[in-house]
Amino acid sequence: MKAIKNVLVSVYYKDGLDELIHILAKQAVNFYSTGGTQKFIESLGYKVNTVEGLTAFPEILGGRVKTLHPKIFGGILARRDNEQDQQQLVQFEIPEIDMVIVDLYPFEETVASTTDEQTIIEKIDIGGISLIRAAAKNFKDTLIVSNKSQYATIANLLAENKGATALETRKLFAKEAFAVSSHYDTLIYRYFAENKDENIFKQSYNDGEALRYGENPHQKGFYFGNLEEVFDILNGKALSYNNLVDIDAAVRLMTEFTEPTFAVLKHTNSCGVASRNSILEAWQAALAGDPVSAFGGVLIANRTIDEATALEIDKLFFEVLIAPEFDEKALDIFTKKKNRILLKQKLFSFPNIQYKSLLNGAIVQDFDTKIEVADELKSVTKLAPSSSEIEDLLFANKIAKHLKSNTIVLAKNKQLLGMGCGQTSRVDALQQAIHKAQSFGFDLKDSVMASDAFFPFPDCVEIANNEGIKTVIQPGGSIKDQLSIDYCDDNEMKMVTTGIRHFKH
């Protein structure tokens, strides 16, 4: 245990600091501070030794240089068991600093609130980050408090131990201090890089939330991020790892649609999607697409859930329901079951990149944000699709984009009839889609087919034609595209290409 005699305090945020100062004052410590923090401690009735008085050097450059001085850093970094260090402290009249309380200028908050470069630059902390690193490095002798969230914890520890700290405590706070400094530096780098440095990858998240478990019960799981920026959680049990993966897929899918649309997902793949004039009609059509897979699924709508829609949804067991709004009577219906997760989605921005760990590193890419529109479609057959067929083609193409490859989507009247996904062959994906559609009583005549990638052979268009599917959308790009185009022309089918592949693994 080491007693605390001298404390350096220099913080941006003062809230919650008073209790810690009172605890330290009871132990008769000497306070060193400057500027606003000095005035705050003095307002509590305690004497403060000024940094300027210790260093015999004033604060300069508009506050850019306050604590950067050997008499400050010498007192923090001096090793108590090193004879030469101790001799130099005496020689240069440097007091040992046993505790440093410091936080950092709000760089992240400033970047979020302004685009003015000079304002942002001035919020890059220099002295604070140096104090944190110095005190953390010398954790054997110095305690570092680097975040306002730690004030209450350390106040309780000091009260219990009469102003002394154990080595394991100082090492724990040093670890947290380096987490603070590394996160801060990453944020600064990302501001300067503007996501343009393609050969450097840095991400940093604080305050990870432990999940019940990972993908399976024997795996640990954590979520790093602020869900409060994305949702109001209105009801239900804690979100699981798998819930979050499915919710992400659902929200990304729904960004494609502007008219009233409902989607049902299982294991990130949509099993029911429909766009209609009302959200109730969209729900009924989406559920009809695969009422079996919908059981226990993740549901998402892009319109307010009203009482009539809630009464219909309430007939189904589901894990999660996401919508921009729920009316009061709808909430009354859903909240009768405490485990149902209800998420009110807010307006927010997705990150620009996605990444995942693999092998001994990570892969990074831009998100697939491309949304094809009618003007971009190229008709490659003698017959061209009608305007209503084009609407269905674009609808089906949006769904295909968000399904695991290889994938085929069959749709009609802006309703998903059947899909095949995650198949090793495109023919298998098509056959799965046909089987699903027919098993739920859909007539495939005059439906459309979408593929996430090109057709290397005409087998898929031939199978589709045999089922009455006459209109196709696909990226094109195969050296054998003409084989599929010729088959379509010979059988009065229509095909458009997008020039955009939408693989998803």
> Which residue in 203, 207, 134 sits closest to 174, CA to CA?
134
**C-alpha to C-alpha distance for 323 and 93, rounded to whole angstroms:** 65
> Which one of 5, 267, 329, 404 is the catalytic residue?
267
> What is the 8-class DSSP label of residue 375?
G
Give the SS3 label for residue 393.
Answer: helix
Sequence-distant (6+) residues with CB within 8 A of 143 are: 4, 98, 99, 100, 135, 154, 165, 169, 170, 173
Residue 250: enclosing H or E segment and its boundaries? helix 241-254
The token pair that represents 491 in the structure block? 């059988």
Sequence-distant (6+) residues with CB within 8 A of 20 are: 101, 145, 151, 152, 154, 155, 158
**Residue 71 annotated in active site:** no
> What is the 8-class DSSP label of residue 458?
T
> Which residue in 68, 93, 80, 56 sits closest to 10, CA to CA?
68
Centroid of chain to Cα 145: 28
Residue 19: enclosing H or E segment and its boundaries? helix 17-26
CB 262 within 8 A of CB 416: no
> What is the 8-class DSSP label of residue 331?
H
> Which residue in 65, 66, 91 sits closest to 78, CA to CA?
91
The token pair that represents 489 in the structure block? 């022309």
DSSP output for 103-148: ----HHHHHHH---HHHHHHTS-SHHHHHHHHHHHTTTT-EEE-SG
**Residue 414 annotated in active site:** no
Other Cβ atoms within 10 Å of 176 Cβ, number: 19
**C-alpha to C-alpha distance for 261 and 485, rounded to whole angstroms:** 32
Residue environment code for 417-443, b if the CB has 16+ CB neighbours within 10 A, otherwise e:
bbbbbbbeebbebbbbbbebbeeeebe
Q: Which residue carries 């990444």 as its tokens?
A: 355
Q: Is 57 exposed, middle or buried (0-12, 13-18, 19+ CB in 10 A)?
A: middle
> Which one of 137, 148, 183, 329 is the catalytic residue?
137
Centroid of chain to Cα 177: 23
Residues tagged active-site: 137, 267
